[in-house]
Structure 1
Amino acid sequence: MTELAIPNQQRGHELAVAQPSPLVQFAMEAQQAEQIANVLARSSFIPATLRGKPQEITAAILAGQELGLPPMATLRSIDIIQGTPGLRAHAMRGLVQSHGHTVQVVESSDTRCVMRGKRKGETEWQQVEWDLERATLLGLTGKSEWKRQPRTMLVARATGEICRLIAADVLYAMPYASEELDTETQYSAEVTVNGRATAADIIRRETSPPPGEAQAATAPAPAATAQLREISMLMTACGITAHTGKGSTALNEKARFEWLSDFLARPIEGTTKTLTTDEADRVLAELRARQLEIAQQRAELEKQIGRLFDGMDKPMSGADRLRDLSLLLDRTISGPADLSDQELSEVAAILADCQGQTAAWDAALQAAQEQRQQGGGE
């Protein structure tokens, strides 16, 4: 071995030894997750409850990474309810199955769900059953979701229980199904000696009614603060309360109460705190559906604009496109997220009118600048 090879070998050994510790590796991953979160926080493609909250998005991405989920799948699969993260039932089932374990629906109806599961490599089946009698004992059937879709809620409860029974090691970082967590359900704060609840603790609490639980009041339950907060955010996202500038507060309040009164077919005035839980659930379902439709329309517009730019008779780089959009709209545009829904529609219409001619596009930019100058001169 040559003298030159020996130092190289030593340096290789030193590099091999100097691997980052798990904590340092986690810190590096957290930095990368934060960078992703800062971008996603401005996107309409993430749930409204996470929009504008990069810290919570970062935590969700890191939690999903521990479960083996990529970032976007994580944000579509995890809900944070009263500070507790939960996997949606279908995501929990898929995650357990991805590790080779088996989960099967034996029976499912509006009154009963039976599911069974077994660990990879084992032959013995575990089986759980959820029916309306059990849900009633736990005070669940009075909730709006249970009234509207009892079969789905029974499947969700059974999914959470069977997945924890057969694959607690897969779900240790997130043992709850989202459908098991809601703003109307209270969970015991008991913990084990090491400060963490085990799967057995969770299952025991779910199958036993809390001691001294009072009978539900006959009066409709008022909407929870978290529901009202999400309604407010979704109304803005859906353009119902999109007024800005002088007098916008009064205009938005008027729009808010008019929309709610029309949708719920009863007068809503002065405050949304008069909404019941059931009414808030109905409003949220409608607004979430509208938000999804808007997001789909926006995504299609962004694709259309990309195709129209690609079809220009002279190639335009990404930097050229952003520069021209900044000139057209008279402000810095760093990406599609900086454009409002209306601006996206207008840009798509202008590009379509240009019919792939760069000269026509340049003329449209010039006309927009001249119009602003004339407006400023007046």
Structure 2
Amino acid sequence: MSTEIQPLGGGVPDTTDEGLALLVRQAEAMDAAHKLATALCNTAMVPQVFRSKPDDAAAAILYGAELGLKPQQALQQVFVVHGQPAIYARTMAGLLKAKGYCFETVESTDESVTVTGTSPRGETETSTWSIDRAKKAGYTSNKKYASDPQAMLYAKALSEVCRKLAPDVLLGIRYTAEDLELEPRPVKATARRMDGQGQERGADAVRAALEAKKQQTGGDRTQLDKALAALAQVEDREHLDRIITHAQGIGMPPEQLTELAEAAATRAEELPEQEAA
């Protein structure tokens, strides 16, 4: 009886020609997007956040292309906040209507808005957003909920229906611009992990890491200090987002928003990953 080991059939899979072709197409698309972004970012036709930032603009153009947006549309409609892409609720609806989806406003008052959507296959989804629900979610810190509640509740209900009906079309977009209360100058959050002796953890790390900055920034820090104290007490990442959303809604100065976002990122490092529902 032979003891020679026979090789298994199939061998090690090779990189397919199709995969290589996809990489080539992506590289070509990135090059084209960057050329467009370089030209457009030197004009007044793009939002301030993309001015002189062709790399960021190119990424937005590519992401918009995946959604079906033209380059100029992508630069006006796609935003990146806390590392997450976001678009307006009306943009979501527009993209889906172009693919045969239908939407109907069932109810619209200052207290509650209900929207129903239907897919081309006949699937339906309905969402109701009330002022009470918005309060519980922490969104009513945005002053627009007082000045134009119907529009804000409609955006929430519409975007929820869109996400439920067509997550594949929207590429899993989690937020809308209305959710995040985007301003002309969005906050960029960065995280830094500190290892080695003397590393501080939890709420103490948040306070210690920002103590120096507290002495450097001027102006009234009352709201910022309250927000930092709240960050130190939260136990899940969802509440971190709510605190930043509230700060944006009350008009906290950009430099303080940046400080708050950095504190939130530091605190997020200390929190456990949430299990999927």
Fold shared per TM-score above 0.5: yes
Q: Which has the higher helix share?
A: 1
Tell me the amino acid that sits aligned with residue 150 of structure 2. R
Counterpart residue number, 1:95: 95
Alpha carbons of structure 1 residues 170 and 179: separation in structure 2 relative to 1, 3 Å:
same
Alpha carbons of structure 1 residues 81 and 148: separation in structure 2 relative to 1, 3 Å:
farther
Tell me the amino acid that sits aligned with residue 92 of structure 2. M
Tell me the amino acid that sits aligned with residue 121 of structure 1. R
1:222-242: per-residue Cα shift (whole Å, max 9, x none)? 61427989xxxxxxxxxxxxx
Maintained 8 Å contact 2:30/2:62: yes
Alpha carbons of structure 1 residues 116 and 68: separation in structure 2 relative to 1, 3 Å:
same
The higher relative CO (CA closer than 8 Å, separation ≥ 6) is in 2
Matched, 1:58 2:58: yes
C-alpha distance in 1 between matches for 2:131 and 2:18: 58
* CA RMSD after TM alignment: 3.2
Tell me the amino acid that sits aligned with residue 135 of structure 2. T
Question: How far off is 1:142 after superposition?
Answer: 2.4
Maintained 8 Å contact 2:142/2:250: no
Question: How far off is 1:66 after superposition?
Answer: 0.6
Counterpart residue number, 2:155: 156
C-alpha distance in 1 between matches for 2:18 and 2:153: 51
Counterpart residue number, 1:225: 254
Counterpart residue number, 1:179: 178
Question: How far off is 1:183 after superposition?
Answer: 6.5
Scaled by the length of structure 2, what TM-score is found?
A: 0.59
1:290-340: per-residue Cα shift (whole Å, max 9, x none)? xxxxxxxxxxxxxxxxxxxxxxxxxxxxxxxxxxxxxxxxxxxxxxxxxxx
Alpha carbons of structure 1 residues 41 and 180: separation in structure 2 relative to 1, 3 Å:
same
C-alpha distance in 2 between matches for 1:172 and 1:228: 28
Name which one, 1 or 2, has greater alpha-carbon Rg: 1
Matched, 1:31 2:31: yes
Counterpart residue number, 2:44: 44
Alpha carbons of structure 1 residues 154 and 227: separation in structure 2 relative to 1, 3 Å:
farther
Maintained 8 Å contact 1:114/1:158: yes
C-alpha distance in 1 between matches for 2:28 and 2:164: 34
- Secondary structure at 1:59's aligned position in 2? helix
Tell me the amino acid that sits aligned with residue 152 of structure 2. M
Alpha carbons of structure 1 residues 224 and 173: separation in structure 2 relative to 1, 3 Å:
farther
Counterpart residue number, 1:144: 143
Matched, 1:116 2:116: yes
C-alpha distance in 1 between matches for 2:99 and 2:23: 25
Counterpart residue number, 1:105: 105
Alpha carbons of structure 1 residues 174 and 226: separation in structure 2 relative to 1, 3 Å:
farther
Scaled by the length of structure 1, what TM-score is found?
A: 0.44
C-alpha distance in 2 between matches for 1:101 and 1:115: 13
Alpha carbons of structure 1 residues 102 and 49: separation in structure 2 relative to 1, 3 Å:
same
- Secondary structure at 2:150's aligned position in 1? helix
Question: How far off is 1:84 after superposition?
Answer: 2.4
Counterpart residue number, 1:133: 132
Maintained 8 Å contact 2:141/2:250: no
- Secondary structure at 1:170's aligned position in 2? coil
Counterpart residue number, 1:169: 168
Tell me the amino acid that sits aligned with residue 142 of structure 2. K
C-alpha distance in 2 between matches for 1:172 and 1:105: 24
Maintained 8 Å contact 1:79/1:88: no
Maintained 8 Å contact 1:82/1:183: no
Maintained 8 Å contact 1:81/1:182: no
Point out where structure 1 has 5 or more consecutive residues left out of the alignment.
Answer: 1-16, 185-208, 230-378
1:345-367: per-residue Cα shift (whole Å, max 9, x none)? xxxxxxxxxxxxxxxxxxxxxxx
Maintained 8 Å contact 2:143/2:250: no
Matched, 1:70 2:103: no
C-alpha distance in 1 between matches for 2:98 and 2:255: 33
1:126-177: per-residue Cα shift (whole Å, max 9, x none)? 2110010101111221222222221111111111100011111111253421
C-alpha distance in 1 between matches for 2:79 and 2:90: 13
1:258-283: per-residue Cα shift (whole Å, max 9, x none)? xxxxxxxxxxxxxxxxxxxxxxxxxx
Tell me the amino acid that sits aligned with residue 157 of structure 2. A
Tell me the amino acid that sits aligned with residue 101 of structure 1. Y
C-alpha distance in 2 between matches for 1:227 and 1:109: 35
Alpha carbons of structure 1 residues 227 and 55: separation in structure 2 relative to 1, 3 Å:
farther
Counterpart residue number, 1:345: none
* Identical counterparts, % of pairs: 31
Q: How many residues align?
A: 185
Question: How far off is 1:53 after superposition?
Answer: 0.8
Maintained 8 Å contact 1:67/1:173: no
C-alpha distance in 1 between matches for 2:142 and 2:182: 11
Alpha carbons of structure 1 residues 135 and 19: separation in structure 2 relative to 1, 3 Å:
closer
